[in-house]
Structures are given as C-alpha cells and as structure tokens.
Amino acid sequence: MDSSLCDPHSADAGAERPVGLAGMSVLVVDDNEISQLIAAGLLTDAGAGVCGVASGAEAVAAVQAKAYDLILMDLQMPGMNGFQTTEEIRGIPNRASVPIVAMTAARAPREERMKCLEAGMDDFVCKPLDVRELVGVLQRSTARSWTVAQIEGVASCISFQDGLRRCLGQVELYDRIAQRFLASRLADAEKTEAAIAAGDHELARKLAHDLTSTAGTLGARRLSDAALALQVGLDDRIDAQELAALLRDYVSEHAAVAAALQSYAAGEVDLTASVQGKQHGG
C-alpha cells in the first residue's frame, strides 16, 4: 500500500473543488492500488483524511484500531470479499454504525446492488468513480454539502479532459495515475492473452476487472468497456469464438491507450493548458 494514501491533504485555494469534508476520516478498502489512489485523490482534495488498505482483514484491523466516518468498500477482493468484510465490521463494538459504501462495477446487476444493502452496506457507487456520483453518495451517507468542477470530455481512444474531470481538474493526480498505468499496466493485454491461452480464466478475469476502473478514470472509456465486456464474458463462460472477439477488442484498445499515454508522458499533451483554458473561459 502507498503510505501517501494515509496522509490527509487540504484543497488548494482558488479552485472550485469539493468542500465540507474537512476533518472527516475515510477508509478505502480495495486490493487495486490504482483504485485506492483514485479514491484518495478525490477525497483528500475535499479535505478528508484518507487511509487505504488492500484486504478485508486489513480493513477489519483498521476499523478496530480507529473510528472512521465513512468506509468505501470494494466487493471483489481475495480472501474476505466486501460482503464478508462488512459483516465483520458490523460486529465490532462501537463501530457497527459506520457508513459503508460499496464500490461496484458500472454494469453490476441489480441483484448485486440489492445484496450490498442486504449485507448491511448503506449505499453503493459505480467504478470507475465519477465525481458527481461520488458526491451524491457522500451526501446521502454523511449529509455533507459538496460542489464540483466541470470539464467536458472529447470522444477518442482516450479523452484526457474526461480523465481530468474525474480527477477534479487536478493535473498532478491525473499524471500520477497515468504514470502508474505506464509502470504497472503496459503488459496487461499480453498477460491476459497468455492467461486465457493457458486456461487460467480467473487470472484473466482479475486483470480485466482491475483495468476497468483505472481505464475509465483515465478517460479511456472504450478500453474500460472492453475490459468489462471481457470480464463479463469470462464470468458467463461464453464460447471460445465469442471470447476471442472480446479479447481482440480488449487488446486493440489497450494498445491504443498505451500509445496515447506514452505520448502524454513524452510531453506531447499539455493538460495544464486545457485546465487554464477552462478556468479563463469559465
């Protein structure tokens, strides 16, 4: 876990960002490090103190050690999943009433969302995290007031402006997520192909699941959709021909996004200018 995710930060003055979470303590439970980084970036910018843990067992230990105002809970984790972790937390003395918000896939079936509520969670939010949806959920769960920035996206293999919107206009946060993708996700398509070829559909499913949220946050909507479609196809055990078609789409989108992010890292995309243009044109 990135230790920086447990450090509180306050919002920069002069920018329109979420407010009203100063002094609030949030626990983010997700085995995907990049998902932790995304959630932490959105919440710390609102003034909250955020701690990230990577497993249900770590979450239970964290809640036993400290009272949190809110918990964001991933559902699909190795070991204890989000439902089991919630059940454990609800049994901890003096912690049973902490609001727990599930983080679900964007196309999670209605039954899964109902299961979140039946398991004792208070609400749910879809991955990839969208600032407006997250704002609404936090308002319902904590009765605090937020405002949000707006940056319009442009359709392409990756919309940098949509990614910036999801990062509340923070170029530094977007850059950290993009650099993490380049450092840890460039081989995902190759690994997924190899896993499917070897019959290891569980590994292929995990790789696709992890990429769905990260790609969406970066503004790579088509890659996010392709990864989710592949994950669903693996879950549904579709035939080999259909699976091969989904895998081709996934690999193609991954290659396009990787090339776009490498251009970004090389300085060929100026996000700062886009943000300044929006602020001045406001």
pTM, 2 dp: 0.56
My answer on whether 119 and 52 are in the same domain is yes
- Pair (21, 114) in one structural domain: yes
Residue ending a domain, among 142, 168, 200, is: 142
Residues 122 and 32 grouped into a single domain: yes
| 153 assigned to some structural domain | no
Residues 17 and 121 in one domain: yes
Looking at the structure of the chain, the number of domains it has is 2
- The verdict on 127 and 213 lying in the same domain is no
Residue 278 lies in a domain: no
My answer on whether 193 and 88 are in the same domain is no
Asked if 20 and 65 sit in the same domain, the reply is: yes
Which domain, by its residues, includes 44? 3-142
Last residue in a domain, options 93, 110, 142: 142
Query: Over the Cα atoms of the chain, what is R_g?
Result: 19
Q: Measured between alpha carbons, how far is residue 256 from residues 36, 148, 282 in Å?
A: 25, 30, 32
Query: In terms of domains, do 194 and 255 share one?
Result: yes
Same domain, 38 and 134: yes
106 and 35 within one domain: yes
Query: Is residue 97 helix, strand or coil?
Result: coil
Q: What share of the chain is helix, strand, coil (3-state, %, to 5)?
A: 55, 10, 35
Let me know if residue 76 belongs to a domain. yes
Q: Give the burial class of 282: count Cβ atoms within 10 A of its Cβ; 0-12 exposed, 13-18 middle, 19 or more buried.
A: exposed
Tokens of 63: 């809640």
Give the domain CATH number at 131.
Answer: 3.40.50.2300
8-state DSSP, 6: G
Q: Are residues 239 and 198 both part of a single domain?
A: yes
Could you read off the pLDDT tens digit of each residue along the chain, which spans 282 residues? 443 344 333 333 333 444 445 567 889 999 988 888 888 887 887 677 899 999 999 999 999 999 898 899 999 899 999 999 999 999 998 888 888 999 877 666 667 767 888 888 888 888 777 766 776 676 666 654 433 332 223 235 888 888 888 888 888 899 999 999 999 999 999 999 999 999 999 999 999 999 998 999 999 999 999 999 999 999 999 998 899 999 998 998 898 898 889 888 887 776 665 545 444 444
Mark whether 189 and 223 lie in a shared domain. Answer: yes
